[in-house]
Chains A and B, each alone.
Chain A
């Protein structure tokens, strides 16, 4: 290619000017990228509400913005789970984190609160009208690390049962009051799915087979299974109980009562399109199905085994670590959190059970349907094991998803899946904690 170099061009001294201009233009654009509005306090909120609760939050935020013209507010929903938590941790490590973010209570200790979060200024919280007495002691205490408050509880979210009222009526699953008849025990549970499947012709229930942690943890919890020993250093999983839960999951898939493979969007789509009559999921898709004008209601997840336990977690607000936290921004942020808590009846309309007790006891909340059908289970919510690698969207759940999804798809036996999960958990236990 070198042989045919072009002839020497005439002098073009304006090259440099052109180039300079280009760089200048790019520089100007770059500068305009980080402008911020004058003296207004800024509140940037990151959340992970990718379901119907996210749509609800959008509406609540609209109201917040309308009522707070003096706050520069910006909210973003990041992809749920590891992507969200990884981005949040990296932003806190980078020092330019948002003013406030949501965080699962189960993730608090493993997130390294002392370095990646800033403590909540309780005095500001009190000034904004929120006090310790507004929460159940259990949830407030879980938000404390080393004697400091690092999170403000927003809600609790159990694993529940959604049912399509039309389909369930045809299947004879509804009682005279139009509500689903409570079932108890494995056989009744399987029969319920069979009845629904007979009506839909496809499946009985939809479930997220690619991340079946909540299903398994619910069943294992109902069997009163234990996970770690007291000080969290040893895995004391009860193989027989763990297997019993996995066997049931395998059976559901093998009998075609649930899909062999479905990711989260598929779980939602299958329930809304009527391919299934039931859906096992967290209670946060209320808004989605209401928007789709579906005939549906909700109930506690059946007590398949011995005791009522429902996998779940709680959302909280935290202040990710900022290198230079501004006093004004922090004040506005705490006021935002307080405002959100006081408006958590609207949040509850999206499915979650509020943590802020004045709302929980309010008539507005008590009248909410179908929320009234399942809120009684709040005390029986079964939190994830306590470890730095555990919690919603954390490594332990991922390992369970990797191992247990094969039980649904048939690519793995319950025994093999359990062995894989136990080995992975042991490896995590043996890994020195990075927090």
Chain B
């Protein structure tokens, strides 16, 4: 083999090896970081393996929000109108979090069947209006009740 050829072969070999390593590592990292998504019904029917980290999506059930006065801890119930799953979260809830609002929470179910959320996201659609908003508007002079910092998705424009 000519030295020029050998050099070329060497470089191609080097590239192929590097690329295969990159592909392998990427796929491994991908597999390690998949978050499944389940509905409350799937959770209630036991489709979620024990201790798995996943996302749950549903509506915040009316009248289910319970906040502790002296801490940042909040409990509420999420529902898909068939099954319900209680959720517990410590932290500041998103701007748009309220009863009847669609939310997505990330975390895992504890032994008592409560979903311990590490993150709560509220869906946002600017074409939506709810009466709380109107009420909040009327009460805005005294500080808008129900206004919370957002932790949601980025808007697209």
> Are A and B associated in one complex?
no
Which residue numbers of B lie inside 8 Å of A, CB to CB?
Answer: none
